């Protein structure tokens, strides 16, 4: 019985013909890369010599205990570094390292916030203070983030040619801001899914203004979180590893979850910090 299946004739199909000098090889979009992941890291303390590091070890043990407590009960715990000498500060800085999330709080004085390699354990530096804070998000980020650095013009923002869909969005944000309570469900406006013009985005930016807090979360690409000058309204923008904007939203909330450490993260950080301290003693 003859088999009905027949092989195709040779010389046909993709790749069967040589490229001539006028053809170009296929070009593919670059794949995402540079994803930040956790890897075990042992602080290097050889350069500290024979310095007495008792104070640093004691403080870091307290930080680990605080992380476990905060993971269960919430709240924040702060540890002042002002009284430590250079060697003990160096050990703490080497142990903390730099994690994925950083923030700038434009208060008086301004505060630089940096998450350590242990999620939920933060270093806060200003002209008047140098502390470690254990929290889902440092208290300074949520104290007055909507203090205007650039005033929100609201519905009085001058209309310009090309502004079509932005005014109704501003009204929606103003209504949700006025009605916000901690118990209210998160409200999101996804600009990436809505029709808008470049002029709409410029108008909205002027309408909501800019607040005193900017947060950057680096992971698979970047997430930039900016407080507006409208209470409880944040601009949350996600970029891929090629720095292309892939998601543009407004969130009406206390602080966007993308910037916060989860209770599970804090519990894990407590265990990892204890392991690191055991390894370097």
| pLDDT digits (tens), the chain, 281 positions | 555 555 555 555 555 555 555 545 555 455 445 545 555 566 666 666 678 999 999 999 999 999 999 999 999 999 999 989 999 999 999 999 999 999 999 999 999 999 999 999 999 999 999 999 999 999 999 999 999 999 999 999 999 999 999 999 999 999 999 999 999 999 999 999 999 999 999 999 999 999 999 999 987 679 999 999 999 999 999 999 888 999 999 999 999 999 999 999 999 999 999 999 998 87
Long-range contact list for 54-60, CB < 8 A, 24+ apart? 55/84, 55/85, 55/88, 56/84, 56/87, 56/88, 56/89, 56/91, 56/92, 56/95, 57/91, 57/277, 57/281, 59/84, 59/88, 59/92, 59/132, 60/92, 60/95, 60/273, 60/277
Note the pLDDT of residue 280. 87
Structure tokens at 115: 């998450």
Note the pLDDT of residue 27. 57
Residue owning tokens 């990436």: 192
Note the pLDDT of residue 139. 97
Q: Count CB neighbours of 162 within 10 A.
A: 13
Note the pLDDT of residue 281. 77
Note the pLDDT of residue 51. 84
Note the pLDDT of residue 241. 81
Model confidence pLDDT, tens digit, residues 74-98 = 999 999 999 899 999 999 999 999 9
Q: Do 76 and 135 form a contact (C-beta atoms < 8 A)?
A: yes
Note the pLDDT of residue 34. 52
Note the pLDDT of residue 243. 87
Note the pLDDT of residue 15. 56
> The pTM is what?
0.82
Q: Count CB neighbours of 1 within 10 A.
A: 3
Note the pLDDT of residue 181. 95
Note the pLDDT of residue 50. 77
Q: Which residues are CB-contacts of 86 (< 8 A; sequence separation ≥ 6)?
A: none
Note the pLDDT of residue 119. 96
Note the pLDDT of residue 126. 96
Distance CA 37, CA 35 (A): 6
């Amino acid at each position: 019985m003859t088999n009905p299946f027949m092989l195709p004739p040779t010389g046909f199909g993709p790749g069967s013909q040589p490229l001539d000098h006028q053809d170009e090889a296929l070009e593919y979009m670059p794949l995402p890369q540079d994803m930040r992941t956790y890897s075990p890291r042992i602080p290097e303390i050889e350069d500290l010599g024979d310095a007495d590091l008792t104070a640093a070890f004691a403080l870091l043990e307290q930080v680990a205990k605080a992380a476990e407590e905060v993971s269960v009960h919430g709240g924040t715990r702060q540890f002042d570094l002002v009284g430590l000498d250079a060697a003990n500060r160096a050990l703490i800085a080497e142990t903390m390292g730099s994690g994925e999330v950083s923030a700038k709080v434009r208060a008086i004085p301004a505060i630089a916030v940096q998450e350590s390699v242990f999620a939920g354990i933060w270093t806060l530096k200003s002209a008047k203070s140098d502390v470690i804070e254990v929290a889902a998000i440092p208290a300074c980020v949520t104290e007055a983030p909507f203090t205007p650095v650039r005033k929100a013009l609201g519905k009085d923002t001058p209309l310009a040619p090309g502004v079509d869909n932005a005014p109704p969005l501003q009204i929606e944000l103003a209504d949700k801001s006025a009605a916000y309570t901690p118990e209210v469900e998160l409200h999101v406006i996804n600009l990436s899914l809505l029709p808008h013009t470049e002029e709409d985005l410029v108008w909205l930016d002027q309408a909501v203004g800019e607040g005193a807090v900017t947060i950057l979360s680096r992971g698979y690409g970047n997430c930039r979180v900016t407080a507006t000058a409208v209470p409880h309204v944040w601009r949350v923008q996600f970029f891929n590893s090629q720095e292309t904007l892939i998601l543009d939203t407004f969130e009406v909330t206390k602080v966007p979850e993308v910037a916060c450490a989860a209770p599970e993260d804090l519990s894990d950080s407590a265990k990892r910090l204890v392991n690191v301290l055991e390894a370097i003693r």
